[in-house]
Chains A and B, each alone.
Chain A
Amino acid sequence: MKPPPFGYSRPESVADALATLARLGPDGKVLAGGQSLLPILSMRLAAPHHLVDINRLSELGYVRVEGGDVRVGALARHAQVLADLPARAAQPLLGKALRLVAHATIRNRGTTVGSIVHADPSGEMTAVLALLGGTVRVATTAGERDVPARDFFVGPLESAVQPGELAVSATFPVLPPRAGTAFVEVARRNGDYAVCGVGALVELDADGAVSSARTAYLSVSPTPLVLDLTDAIGSEPDFAAAAVAAREQVEPEPDIHASADYRRHLAGVLTERALREAHAEALERSGRD
């Protein structure tokens, strides 16, 4: 077998899972879709003692629009969220970003909550959660807590979920009126993690002027970077100025796929594109053009 040896449990209920995780403490590791965890094990980059497989917890396999939020259960696969029309209507950014997550076979297994807990700074859904200011609900045998996105991402591949805890859902605020979103990225190959990606959320006031312009970035920082470009873009939207501001604020690292300069350049170009597209959608949703 490629991975190092590990113990394995497959609880049948959330209560059961929480009890198992509590018992195992630091030795336990949640296995969701396995699309990130199993490659890590196979490459022997991690050697958890015991995997707690949550794939039987069908009670967590939901996508709901409730109140002002889209709530996604921990067992909802990327594909399921992507196919959920009410959720996508309530927060269109979900669909726009999920289309860019890996490719279909990976989306059929990988979970949206799993990708958020995995906290990969190249993951689209981490950026979406950060941009929209969503929360993650984390449970233990002692109870539940809601962790806001800004506290959730601690470092690269490190989230606020502690040993013994299970993330049970993530919530994404629905799109306010007079607002629009976009997600654009550049990958070296279709379906790959992006060399750089940008999500944007633009809100307009009643007069159609930009009241808020925010962007979130992939692959340019250790944790999802969110920029408030409202001032840079101005009320008469100057997308190029916003791009310049973004370029100045990102601090990307080079790797074999791209130099830091190229990533910085992409951050600028994609910022402009994402904001332009989000702004156009905001205008359209405001019923004017």
Chain B
Amino acid sequence: MAGNTLTRSDLSEAVYREIGLSRNESAEMVESILGQISSALVRGEHVKISSFGTFTVREKGARMGRNPKTGEEVPIEPRRVLVFRPSHIMKERVNGGTA
């Protein structure tokens, strides 16, 4: 495990290198991709990127929680959570496969 962290700038650098857009435009395209995915999720849509994975919105009902420090009961409001299911291809790649 190398333990490096990639950020937006690494992604836009890759677009700059591979596609040959300007650095500025590459950064804008990375931002647009993330923006489009976010907007779809906010609308409650699932986002499926084949060979990468699926972002799913799950509705969670209200429940009673507990403050672990004080032991006090606190109501947890119903909310939407985001779940990512990696594709088989990604799972295999992460386990050293080349698929």
Report whether chain A binds chain B: no
Q: Please report A residues at the B interface, Cβ cutoff 8 Å.
A: none
